Amino acid sequence: MKFKILFVLSLILLSTTSFALSIGASPGRLELGTVHRGEEKLVEFVIFSDTGKEISIKPRILSPIEDYFNPDVKGYETVFNAYEASQEPIDSWIEFIENPILLKPGEFDTKTTYSVGVTSTKKVSFLLKVPENADPGYHASRLSFDANVNNEGEGVKAFAITSVDIPIVFRVDGEAVRSGYISGFNIDNNNLNINFFNNGTTTIRVAASIINILKNGNTIASLDGYPVLVRPKTSVSITKQLSLETGKYEVYSKVVWTTGSSEKSANIFLESKEQNNTTSTGTSIPLNINLTTIVISIAIVIGAIGAIVYIIK
């Protein structure tokens, strides 16, 4: 039995061939310059492959590299200003003219000379549709590729496909301001809400890097909060559940984003769950019904019953 299993496995392995394929793009970064709200911009670039196989490629838009929005990371400042950047998603702004894209061996869309081994090239086009309500400032995203190889009639083959991500950067005209502040705290069913207001003109990703709970001057809990995107001129609540006894506490929090921060302290009072849950108390309604009304009602009911009995007989 073991011999049969090993024999079948060996046949499978013999009929399986492994290939390493790669997909490249030129240019390596799409710098689109300054665009305007409501504008549609046609963007073109070239993808290429080093295999003689037919490949179906599906481009997709990914979240941008966070380093773009961090002014402490060097290397992007020539094309991107982190202090004037918006982190609003732009995947819905991009519409590919052809998707998926078919790369066929021996077909070259361009006359550009690529490295030795390139077997096919294809020009790719998409429309960048800038919304009328787009944030001003620098925007960034990444273009990636999902690929499938057409190996029909060639047996079982394993393909390791590698591709590069292409950064996309551009600037929407207008004054870009990254700013905000902690507007206050409130307690809701033992949940601490840190309320943050974005008073700038761009979308920013914020997180509560420090949440300290103090009692009598001593820190009794240190927490942090999850990152959230905040649109301009809107508020967001960063919520943390508290497991503390009833009493008065001091809370200190620091909310940060890549180009700034806001700090605030305040006193809060935690109530017991019984006190914290509002209960509704009903109001009694007096019934001013006199005896005559009751007698008339009874008579009507009795008459109705008698009429039903008479009809049945």
Report pLDDT digits (tens) over 196-229: 999 999 999 999 999 999 998 899 888 888 899 9
Listed in order, strand segments (DSSP E) in the chain are 17-26, 30-35, 40-49, 54-62, 94-96, 101-103, 120-129, 137-150, 157-163, 166-172, 181-188, 191-197, 204-215, 218-223, 228-230, 235-241, 247-257, 260-270
Task: Band the pLDDT of 106: cuts 50, 70, 90.
Answer: confident
Higher pLDDT, 121 or 295: 121
Supply the range of the domain harboring residue 209.
181-276
Find all residues with CB under 8 Å of 120, minimum gap 6, and list them.
48, 49, 55, 103, 104, 105, 106, 107, 108
Task: Band the pLDDT of 160: cuts 50, 70, 90.
Answer: low
Cβ contact 97:45 at 8 Å:
no
Considering the domain architecture, whether residues 158 and 193 belong to the same structural domain is answered as no
C-alpha 115/C-alpha 32 separation (Å) is: 26
**Helix intervals (H) in the chain:** 2-14, 273-276, 291-312
Considering the domain architecture, whether residues 185 and 226 belong to the same structural domain is answered as yes
Q: Is residue 284 part of a domain?
A: no
Residue 199 has a pLDDT of 98
Considering the domain architecture, whether residues 145 and 206 belong to the same structural domain is answered as no
- CATH code (residue 265): 2.60.40.10
Report pLDDT digits (tens) over 275-294. Answer: 443 322 233 223 344 544 55
C-alpha 114/C-alpha 186 separation (Å) is: 61
Considering the domain architecture, whether residues 235 and 164 belong to the same structural domain is answered as no
Residue 309 has a pLDDT of 47
Considering the domain architecture, whether residues 126 and 155 belong to the same structural domain is answered as yes
C-alpha 250/C-alpha 209 separation (Å) is: 17
Considering the domain architecture, whether residues 53 and 160 belong to the same structural domain is answered as yes
Q: Is residue 147 part of a domain?
A: yes
Last residue of a domain, one of 148, 172, 196: 172
Q: Is residue 134 part of a domain?
A: yes
Q: Is residue 3 part of a domain?
A: no
Report pLDDT digits (tens) over 53-105. Answer: 788 889 999 988 888 899 988 888 888 999 999 999 999 999 999 999 888 88
Tell me which long-range contacts 301-310 makes (C-beta under 8 A, separation of at least 24). none
Q: Is residue 310 part of a domain?
A: no
Phi and psi at residue 131, in whole multiples of 5°? -65, 160
Q: Is residue 72 part of a domain?
A: yes
Report pLDDT digits (tens) over 46-56. Answer: 988 877 778 88
Considering the domain architecture, whether residues 56 and 168 belong to the same structural domain is answered as yes
Query: Omega of the bond prior to 136 within 30 degrees of 0, cis?
Result: no
Considering the domain architecture, whether residues 79 and 165 belong to the same structural domain is answered as yes
